[in-house]
Amino acid sequence: MKLLLDSTRCQGYGLCHEPAPELIELDEWGYARVREHDVPQGGADAAEAAVAACPNSALRLVK
């Protein structure tokens, strides 16, 4: 499973970082960057929570 970010949709709310800090980091303005595109085993719940937390649908999971 891969975690993908559409950076043009990210508005810098930073809500995705809280459920998945091991997968997503925030820059100095709060915009998301995906640390690890390949979701590690056991990280699916955190990745799904991060996707659900984004109010702009900037994140998505691809299986």
pLDDT tens readout for residues 7-58: 999 999 999 999 999 999 999 999 999 998 999 999 999 999 999 999 999 9
Helix (H) or strand (E) holding 48: helix 44-53
Does the pLDDT value for residue 3 go beyond 90? yes
Longest distance between any two alpha carbons in the chain, whole Å: 30
Which amino acid makes up residue 53? A
Domain 2-62 has CATH 3.30.70.20: yes
pLDDT at 36: 83
- What is the rounded distance in angstroms from the CA atom of residue 42 to the CA atom of residue 26? 22
- What is the rounded distance in angstroms from the CA atom of residue 31 to the CA atom of residue 13? 7
